[in-house]
Structure 1
Amino acid sequence: MTQTLERQAGGLYVQTPEQQQIAFPLKHTEVQAKIAGNISRVEVTQSFENPFTTTLEAVYIFPLPDEAAVDDMLIRIGDKTIKGSIKKRQEAQQIYEQAKEQGRTAGLLEQERDNIFTQSLANIQPGEQIDVIIRYSESLKFTAGNYEFVFPMVLAPRYIPGIPIEGNAGGVGSATAPMTQNQDTDIVPDGSRLNAPILPSGTRSPHDIHVTIEIDAGVEVKNVQSPSHQIQISYAEKRVLVKLAGGDTIPNKDLILRYQVAGESTQATVLSQADERGGHFALYLIPALQYHQNQVVPKDVVFLIDTSGSQMGAPLMQCQELMRRFINGLNPDDTFSIIDFSDTTRQLSPVPLANNSQNRTKAINYINRLTANGGTEMSRGIRTVLNFPVTDPGRLRSIVLLTDGYIGNENQILAEVKQHLQPGNRLYSFGAGSSVNRFLLNRIAELGRGIAQIIRHDEPTDEIVDKFYRQINNPVLANINLQWEGDGDAPIIYPATPPDLFAEQPLVLFGKKPDARGGKLHITGIVAGATRYQNTINLDFEETGNLAIAQLWGRSRIKELMNLIVSGETKLGVEAVTETALTYQLLSQYTAFVAVSDDVRVDSRQGSVSVQVPVEMAEGISYQGIFGSAVSGAAPIMASMVSPTPEFLQRKRVQASPGAPEVVMSSPVPPPKMSRYEERYRFADESLEDEETFLGDIAPVEHLEVVSVTGLNEQMITLLTQYLESIPLQTGFSGDLVFEWQINKGRVRQVVLDEQASTFKEQAVIDIIRRSLVSWQPPQILTATVSLTLRLQA
């Protein structure tokens, strides 16, 4: 039987006389986790196999926990293991590409988001299996006496807002399916790296996953349970061994494991470690605080609910049930309102409503009528809720966001929260689903000085709502202050500004003392607006301590630094993250692991085929919600493998310029005729609605001057200058902007602002210029490092 190998929509196919079948280079994932106290050490082994007669490159987009400190990567070929080394990301990419061209087997592990990773494996010989081993440490979540271990298994499709960058498309087309909208945009320049091909409804990947978790808590472990998976539990003295049951090995949902430890709740746990980098510690503090009902303060609660296509079906129904319970659980003196968003934003009322029976009935009816469809234009919803009118300044404004978080522009949302959430307000996040974007939900809650709650689409809602109200109704431990007593400099602690504490939620701090000399850490705060709280922790550093403590401090520092540059990458910020990641051997957005075989293993002249590994649709997500009516009937045939352009991923677009690819409109109504400038600079999510004063009458204005450019020849400088001077800007401020970026394969990559050399500070204008720069298209053959100085005059 002859076989024909061909590349199609996101997969590699074998053509036989009987049928066409996809081949999956990823065969199996094995996860082994060891939990000691508050810390887990996890090893993930991905087994790739090439079943063909052609050399193969496999590319796999997959999730890991957003707080994971990834510090090791190896590739195993037969009985030989090659250890990966951490490099600056661009350097690692160059090493990988060179090795691929030379015919060496190479592995490249990159981080796209805190919870999205790409594994590339080049030159897999026909018929051979290669294992990629990834190791990370993570601090366990601990709330109200319950430990929680989470291992994400699949990435649901991310919505990519913005104007597509011309000539770039990350999606792969087929004879029966149009080009998917998985591509880079001015808002998400790496959008094509965030979405893997999704298997059609009714098909199944042979890729399976096994998980083994060993819990060694030092005391008896009890009430081990998983709301997500069927598990097998065995006990040996004080250790517990947990495995997935044989019938639950499809990687299409997050594994959630919860358990308790015997005895009374520990009030403070300190773990420490010392090495040549200094002394590191992790502090878990659980204040024993008592609350009384008369301490409850009146709140103004605004609910913001995601009604985009990915929420269709079970996720929306779960959010509606949560909302009904939220409304009925409000205190008598509270006020409330509801806002929902998808392509557009709607609201229950223009002002907060009193909590009476008439308004509750009105709210419940509004909730019951919600339907899910369209794109996830979260920036609109966030802007609306942050600007929602305040009618009683004496109330504590609490914003409750309900979403799966399936977007690619996380930093844009985080920047909105960081810049515009009013002091004293709180933002809480709820995720409903099997594989929600925990990175976004957790970070929003942190920046919003609130808490994040994740609930599966099939979990009971009553307990989670009761717990939520116990937390937000009770006063917090606020104004937390840390004082060091002892020799040497004070430790460097993250988070740098400790958050307020909610009931049943511990304070987790990671610290470093470069001289590793012990001392005392005094923690003070205010309870219920008056009562003083005080605790003292003795700190000593042990060279025999858990090595993961240092890695977790490094990961916490990177997280803190990344929070500082959510509005846009800056030179000092990128350098600080890179330096920390290299010092602690950690994966980050600016570092990557690369492993290369010593020997040339394939004939590079014969070429190879590159395949992106398709993934399962996350459990509970509606195919129709993602892909629209195209899959409402029979499942797509195996030959197409990629359904028609997902409605969930479609954006309201216009053709950017003559010759640009035609872009699908999510609305059947044709757009009005636009001028060339409107076409070029109208953002798809209409994110400039609140900044329209900067666009004026959409005519270019002559107040942007290109002062200097290095790294380009005169001809390219002229083209760049003409391009930049056509940007329609208006500003009431003057100053200089200095940007640095890389040019590679016809793309501008990683536009970094030199904040020390720049004097212009108006963020909205900086964002417009940055987006315009990433959209500029130099020649494909050009490779350069560019420095640009602009002068803006009011």
Structure 2
Amino acid sequence: MDEDAFTAAVEEGLNLSKRVRSASAATSAPHPKPAFETRPASLLPTCPALYAVISDPGSVDNPDVPSYQPHVYGRCDPPALIPLQMDRIDARIDCHVDAAVVEVAGRWRVHCVTRSRSCDCRLVVPMGDQGSILGVEVDVAGRSYSTRVTQRKVDQQMYKIDKSNGGFLKPHIFFITIPQVDGGSEISVKVSWSQKLLYKDGQFAINIPFHFPDYVNPFVKISSKRENPFVKISSKREKIQLNVNSGTGKEVVLQRTSHTLKEKGRHVGTMSFLYEAEVENWSTKDFHFSYSIYSNDLFGGVLLQSPSMQDYDQREMFCLYIFPGNQRRKMFRKEVVFLVDISGSMRGKPLEKVKTALTSAILELTPEDSFDIIAFNEETYSFSSSLEPATEDIIENATQWISKNFVAEGGTNIMKPLNEAMELLSNTRDSLPHIFLITDGSVEDERDICFSIRTQVESRGFMAPRISSFGIGTYCNHYFLQMLSSIGRGHYEASYDPDSTEVRMGRWFGRALSPIVANISVDIFDRLNEFEVYPSHIPDLSVGCPLIISGRFKGKFPDSVKVKGREADMSDIVVDLKVKNIKDIPLEKVCSRQQIDLLTAQAWFTGSKQLEDKVIRLSIQSGIPSEYTCMILPEDEEDTQDMVKQHKKQDKQKQQSRSRDQVLIRAHELTFGFGNVTATAENLPAQFGEPKAPETFAVLNKAVGCCSSLCDCCCCMCVINTCAKLNDRCVVALTQLCVGLSCFGCFECCSELCCGND
């Protein structure tokens, strides 16, 4: 299901929800404006939400007090989605280093389906920046479900799979389906995910979707006539618990918050807050929180943690972090080459967003910097034959050149512009060279490109160009781009949503174009018995991006570690990092997403089966889906057995039948594959999400013997549906016309019978 289909389904569901009346609907008191009439501008969820999946509109009714409902003909195809009413919501947010683990628990009621019927329910969870789903737990009517990650091949062999019941509406909106819930049932859900903290101007910030629309508020009830006729059924309480553990041992300072927080505890490097309120309506704004770590200069540390008994890898874990600090440091002079894909598939919004973001990035360069632009399809088109200083006149000329020459047409060749850029930056002396690659396609020689660039980078040493890559849509090979950025010690970013391309690209440019320490090395790695580092090529430290390095090791870490680098004035810098053993920070959840992505890129690049197996083990252990695993929502067997013992024989047979039919719900499309060379070669437009299937009329499969094979859009049901929408006078006129035509037909027949022999 894509964004448009989801919005249409919710629109239909809100229309259907008008059939549901509260227990007080029969009174003569004036009714308040129905919740479903006060709709937000967008029907995409802005909070964790549950929807009843309605195929038969006749099942829609109040499960407590059924009302007279006119009969409804037909079915909803695709099914409508009715937002369920919510009566509890709790959130817990744990911030660690540069990431947060979010857990939201809520309770919803199937208020819109009669008790004699059941329906699937769809959980939809919007997550924050670079969010990764960690798990879902569901309790409903004596049954419980919990997600787990399993290997794709095993999953396909052991289970019956319905791929349409889980995945992503948008890159940050996860959904999964809970099967066959009876009307009137209460559903308790606990969902957790991890997301990156935003970092800007020395502050960490987090934004949690917590904006609940009016229509998820429970029904109101009527009190006595002398009192206010409309009061809430019961008070509602919302709760947010926030914990910050920076792991730095430095003072953490609260900067800004959207909700009134009560401080519960504070120690050096940690603090905890609680928001709890009794409300008439659920929160109508997202939860936002920001904090800073007091320091005048860049600082960092090393966190060590022992593996758990269930960990497949019994080596010690480490996380090395360096934060830029609040002090303004001199940035490197830059020599930059921008490589922009202008093949035919970039036509329209993708290329327009790239133009805007690229122009903004060029304006951020200083006159001391120099740059060039290379647009490419099968050929390359350069703004200049050499690097040009970023003066006002040159930037104005570059802006005009972009507007004139960025015309989407032709195929895709990435090797040629990369080699040209490497040649342009071959004579760098006292500045930091950068290459920015922007593409939406995948090509056949991607491994050859990585091998070639790796050879050139190794031959040039520390003065090799930094290569940063940006992938647009799902047709490009994002693991190729990650591998290329890892080799070039640059930054990788992607946009799977056309509306976020400009913002993400601007953030990507900002991180890569603000280096303050380059050529970073850590002295301890060479003295350990065994170590594994992610990323393997350490990138530069930038003003807008903390540096995080994680991995595993065998051996003994000293009490402090020296990190060496080079500053913008070409002087060497040495930073002493204290080493600390920790138990209260889940390093596995904080670092696993980065490790899985980089390991997958290496597995693709090398074709190593061992690395694939390693990704699978890490994915299963951390609960984060990968390219070789998937997330499933099986019913917990122990709870099912307990329920079977407690219920009567009919309920037992119903449950066993349900378990056989709904063996597994698989959340698919949680990753985006290794690119689509065929789609790139055919210049298909940049794909965001799952391709849409061609529209068909579902009633054609249900109408027997009345559909024309010549025009696949006409059948009896189509005629019935059309006639149902006609004006009464029009129907009378059509009836008279048909009677008149019938009379003429009878007259013709009689003439043939009576006079045919004459």
TM-score (norm 1): 0.51
How far apart, CA to CA, are the structure 2 residues paired with 1:419 and 1:248? 54
Give the aligned partner of residue 720 of structure 1: none
Give the aligned partner of residue 93 of structure 2: 34
Select which of 491, 494, 516 maps to 2:534. Answer: 494
Q: CA contact under 8 A between 1:269 and 1:284: conserved in structure 2? A: yes
Cα gap change, 1:415/1:91 in structure 2, threshold over 3 Å: closer, same or farther?
A: farther
Sequence identity percentage: 16
Deviation at 1:564, TM superposition (A): 0.2
Select which of 235, 239, 242 maps to 1:214. Answer: 242
How far apart, CA to CA, are the structure 2 residues paired with 1:594 and 1:410? 36
Question: In the alignment, residue 601 of structure 1 is paired with which amino acid?
Answer: Q
Cα gap change, 1:72/1:282 in structure 2, threshold over 3 Å: closer, same or farther?
A: same
Deviations 1:446-475 (A, max 9, x none): 55422468999999x999979967963655
Q: Which SS does the other structure have where 1:24 is aligned?
A: strand
Q: CA contact under 8 A between 1:271 and 1:281: conserved in structure 2? A: yes
Q: Which SS does the other structure have where 2:513 is aligned?
A: helix
Cα gap change, 1:360/1:519 in structure 2, threshold over 3 Å: closer, same or farther?
A: closer
The structure with the greater share of residues assigned to helix is 2
Give the aligned partner of residue 192 of structure 2: 135
- For structure 1, the 5+ residue unaligned runs are 4-9, 101-105, 155-203, 226-230, 616-645, 654-660, 664-794
Deviation at 1:298, TM superposition (A): 5.4
Structure of greater relative contact order (alpha carbons < 8 Å, 6+ residues apart)? 1
- Cα root mean square deviation, aligned: 6.2
Deviation at 1:478, TM superposition (A): 0.4
2:340 equivalent to 1:304: yes
2:456 equivalent to 1:427: no
Question: In the alignment, residue 74 of structure 1 is paired with which amino acid?
Answer: E
Cα gap change, 1:89/1:216 in structure 2, threshold over 3 Å: closer, same or farther?
A: same
Deviations 1:65-84 (A, max 9, x none): 68666554422214654444
How far apart, CA to CA, are the structure 2 residues paired with 1:349 and 1:153? 46
Deviation at 1:578, TM superposition (A): 1.6
Larger radius of gyration: 2
Give the aligned partner of residue 324 of structure 1: 359
Q: CA contact under 8 A between 2:145 and 2:633: conserved in structure 1? A: no
Deviation at 1:380, TM superposition (A): 2.5
Select which of 350, 371, 388 maps to 1:354. Answer: 388
How far apart, CA to CA, are the structure 2 residues paired with 1:282 and 1:272? 7
How far apart, CA to CA, are the structure 2 residues paired with 1:572 and 1:205? 51
Q: CA contact under 8 A between 2:361 and 2:509: conserved in structure 1? A: no
Select which of 56, 64, 88 maps to 2:151. Answer: 88
2:532 equivalent to 1:472: no
Give the aligned partner of residue 628 of structure 2: 590
Deviation at 1:562, TM superposition (A): 0.8
Cα gap change, 1:332/1:554 in structure 2, threshold over 3 Å: closer, same or farther?
A: closer
Deviation at 1:501, TM superposition (A): 2.4
Question: In the alignment, residue 490 of structure 2 is paired with which amino acid?
Answer: G
Q: CA contact under 8 A between 2:168 and 2:175: conserved in structure 1? A: yes
Cα gap change, 1:289/1:606 in structure 2, threshold over 3 Å: closer, same or farther?
A: closer
Q: Which SS does the other structure have where 2:541 is aligned?
A: coil
Q: Which SS does the other structure have where 1:505 is aligned?
A: coil
How far apart, CA to CA, are the structure 2 residues paired with 1:467 and 1:427? 12
Equivalent residues in 2 for 1:59-458, closer than 5 Å: 71-78=134-141, 81-97=144-160, 119-125=176-182, 128=185, 130-137=187-194, 140-149=197-206, 212=240, 214-216=242-244, 219=251, 221-224=253-256, 231-236=258-263, 239-240=272-273, 258-262=290-294, 264=296, 267-274=299-306, 275-276=308-309, 277=314, 279-286=316-323, 296-297=332-333, 299-304=335-340, 319-332=354-367, 334-339=369-374, 347=381, 349=383, 351-352=385-386, 354-355=388-389, 359-368=394-403, 380=412, 382-383=414-415, 385-388=417-420, 390-391=423-424, 393-395=426-428, 397-400=433-436, 420=453, 423=457, 424-428=464-468, 446=486, 448-451=488-491
Cα gap change, 1:523/1:33 in structure 2, threshold over 3 Å: closer, same or farther?
A: same
Q: Which SS does the other structure have where 1:97 is aligned?
A: coil
Q: CA contact under 8 A between 2:470 and 2:493: conserved in structure 1? A: yes
Q: CA contact under 8 A between 1:279 and 1:517: conserved in structure 2? A: no
Cα gap change, 1:91/1:360 in structure 2, threshold over 3 Å: closer, same or farther?
A: same
Give the aligned partner of residue 693 of structure 1: none
Q: Which moved more, 1:494-503 or 1:422-431?
A: 422-431
Cα gap change, 1:288/1:263 in structure 2, threshold over 3 Å: closer, same or farther?
A: closer
Q: CA contact under 8 A between 1:430 and 1:453: conserved in structure 2? A: yes
Deviation at 1:360, TM superposition (A): 3.1
Cα gap change, 1:241/1:123 in structure 2, threshold over 3 Å: closer, same or farther?
A: same
Deviation at 1:270, TM superposition (A): 3.9
Deviation at 1:256, TM superposition (A): 7.5
Q: Which SS does the other structure have where 1:476 is aligned?
A: strand
How far apart, CA to CA, are the structure 2 residues paired with 1:548 and 1:28? 34
Q: CA contact under 8 A between 2:244 and 2:272: conserved in structure 1? A: yes
Give the aligned partner of residue 655 of structure 2: 601
Select which of 550, 560, 565 maps to 2:603. Answer: 565
Deviations 1:149-196 (A, max 9, x none): 366899xxxxxxxxxxxxxxxxxxxxxxxxxxxxxxxxxxxxxxxxxx
How far apart, CA to CA, are the structure 2 residues paired with 1:514 and 1:583? 20
Question: In the alignment, residue 604 of structure 2 is paired with which amino acid?
Answer: V
Give the aligned partner of residue 709 of structure 2: none
How far apart, CA to CA, are the structure 2 residues paired with 1:77 and 1:67? 30
Cα gap change, 1:89/1:371 in structure 2, threshold over 3 Å: closer, same or farther?
A: same
Equivalent residues in 2 for 1:506-545, closer than 5 Å: 506-513=546-553, 520-528=560-568, 530-542=570-582, 545=583
- For structure 2, the 5+ residue unaligned runs are 1-15, 18-52, 59-70, 218-237, 265-270, 458-463, 641-653, 670-683, 696-758
Deviation at 1:267, TM superposition (A): 1.3
Q: Which moved more, 1:578-587 or 1:238-247?
A: 238-247
Cα gap change, 1:530/1:323 in structure 2, threshold over 3 Å: closer, same or farther?
A: closer
How far apart, CA to CA, are the structure 2 residues paired with 1:506 and 1:563? 22
Deviation at 1:271, TM superposition (A): 3.6
Question: In the alignment, residue 101 of structure 2 is paired with which amino acid?
Answer: R
Q: CA contact under 8 A between 2:127 and 2:195: conserved in structure 1? A: no
